[in-house]
Structure formats: structure tokens, C-alpha cells
Amino acid sequence: MSARLQTILELLSCPDDGQPLRLTKAQLLCSGCGRSFPLHGEDLAEILPTRPVQLPISTSAEYRSAYLRLFEQQFKQDSDCLAWGAEETATAGWLRKRRRQVSAVLPLITEGAELNTSVLCDIAAGAGHYTFAYAPKFRLVLHCDLSVQNLSYVSRKAREQHLNNILFLRIDYFRPPFRQSLDRLLCLDTLIRGDGHDPMLLKSITRCLKPTGTAVIDFHNWWHNPLRRLGILPDNFRSNRSYRRSETKTLLREAAFRDARVFPFVQECDLSRRIGRICSKPIPSTRIIYQVRSAVVPS
């Protein structure tokens, strides 16, 4: 792992004090506070802050409980675990929709990047649908997650597929180990927790990006299924949050992003086919995808 990790050391910093990290044989060390961060095998490092963040009371109790449980997990490789959204447990229809979004996002995240030299970071990477699809397009992909189960699953799967340009980082995306160091960042299917969570995460993303960096993020569209949102039909989104376009613009403005370009996405239609493009026009988009630029204007 040392050779690959050495190449991204300049991207990493201590999540507590923001100071650079240095690599030893068995761990990463903060050059400021002296904290050590463990390495697991050849491709996985844990770079968590000392303690979890204090989430606002407006964040749901269910999410706060899950967040604390995941943060306190001890890392252990599990050869049998499955991540949420793993292909082995998903239906064919669900996978088709996810792969359509993978295809739709690819030109947005690669636009302007120097492919095969750039590094892509997915800070809530889950089961790795984007990680595995985009790995051939980048020199390195940083697959980041807090869940031990998710990381154990995807790191095992990457080894089985002989994907050698993926590094796995266990991070807390509220206090990630990046300080204006990332050129390309993904955060998808994650801005769904509402007022206490989503603004905090957006501001964290702005702090991760280089002055010239680009992120691709998405929100669930309230208008995609308003009958469920109004309670006329059963709500299958439970305590998660969907947004109107005007609300997403407010969130991006408060996080100080610039050059936010919107790309409505209808996952029910195959946009690679003419009939799919025609049918998608009258349907409210499932997701509101944004390509955003760093909040820091380059000098």
C-alpha cells in the first residue's frame, strides 16, 4: 500500500487540526498533533477525527443513532458481508436505474479532467457502483465511507476484480481528511437527511475542493412524486428529504458554491435511446444533479 498511498499524501490532512500526514510502515502520522491513523492491508486506511461531530437536533434521531453506531465501529475485514445497494441483493430494475445514473454522471465528473492523471474522490461511496465504473478513467479513485461493512465489501470486490487503482478510506464526511486538495469529488444519494445534515455536508464539500476543483452532487426531486410527499400515496422515502429546485439553489448559495450547473435526471428512461429521451421530457426528474465549482475563487 505504501507506494500508492505515498502518491496521495499531498491530498491528505489530519481531520482534527488540518496538518499534513506522513507515512510510516504501519500507519499515518499527523505532523501537528501526533495522532496515528491505522492502515489495513495494502489498500485501506482509517482517517477518522478524534470524536464524532455534534449533529443539530433537527437531524432525525434515527440518523444520529446510526451515525454514532457507525463511527464507534471497530474495523474488521469480513469476507461475507454485503454493502447496502450491493449488486448481489438488488433487483434487476433497481440496478438498471442506478447504472443509468452512473452513465449520466460520467461526462460531468470527467469534464475538464486530465484523465489517467487525475484523482477522483467519492466521499459517500457505499457499494461502489461509481467507484468501479469510473476507476478506468482516473489514475486513482478514493472510495470513502464510514461504514466498516461497506468498506469491507468493496475492498474485497476490488481485489476480486483486480482493480489496483482504488484506495479505500474510512472517513467521517463531516470532518474529512482533505483541505482544499481535491480536484474531482462525488457525493451522490447522500444529501437526503434534511436541515441538520445536508447544509453541514455541503459546507464540508466546499472545504475539500481545490480552488479549481469540481464536485458532482445530487438531490432527490420533491416533484418527482408529489402524491407521496403530500401523503396521498404511501411515502416510500420514509424520513429522508427531497427538495424543490428553489430549495437546492438556496442550499448551494449558503454553502458558497459557484458556477452551479443543473442537470435534471429521469432514471426511469433510457436516455441513450430516442424513445427514452422523448418520454423523459414530460416526467419530473427523479434527481436534481449539479456540477458545482469550488467556493474559493482562484487568484
Q: Is residue 41 part of a domain?
A: no
Q: CA 33, CA 17: separation in Å to the nearest integer? A: 7
Q: Provide the CATH number for the domain around residue 95.
A: 3.40.50.150
Long-range CB contacts (within 8 A, 24+) of 145-149: 145/170, 145/171, 146/48, 146/67, 146/70, 146/71, 146/170, 146/171, 146/172, 146/173, 147/70, 147/73, 147/83, 147/84, 148/70, 148/73, 148/74, 148/75, 148/76, 148/78, 149/78, 149/81, 149/82, 149/83
**What pLDDT score does 277 carry?**
65
Length of the chain: 299
Residues of the chain with pLDDT under 50: 1, 297-299
Q: Is residue 289 part of a domain?
A: yes
Residue pair 288/222 in contact by the 8 Å Cβ criterion: no
Cell numbers at 218, concatenated: 445530487
Q: Is residue 226 part of a domain?
A: yes
Find the domain containing 276 and state its range.
50-293
How many of the other CB atoms lie within 10 Å of CB of 278? 10
**What pLDDT score does 299 carry?**
41
Q: Is residue 145 part of a domain?
A: yes
Residue with cell 484523482: 119
Residue with cell 454485503: 82
Q: Is residue 83 part of a domain?
A: yes
**What pLDDT score does 5 carry?**
81
Q: Is residue 122 part of a domain?
A: yes
Q: Is residue 272 part of a domain?
A: yes
Spatial strand order in the sheet of 209-220: 21-23, 27-30, 36-40, 44-46, 166-170, 140-145, 119-122, 182-187, 209-220, 287-293, 258-265
Residue pair 121/178 in contact by the 8 Å Cβ criterion: yes
Interior CA angle at 76 toward 27 and 8, to 5°?
Answer: 35
Q: Is residue 14 part of a domain?
A: no
pLDDT in tens, 185-210: 999 999 999 988 999 999 999 999 99
Structural domains counted in the chain: 1
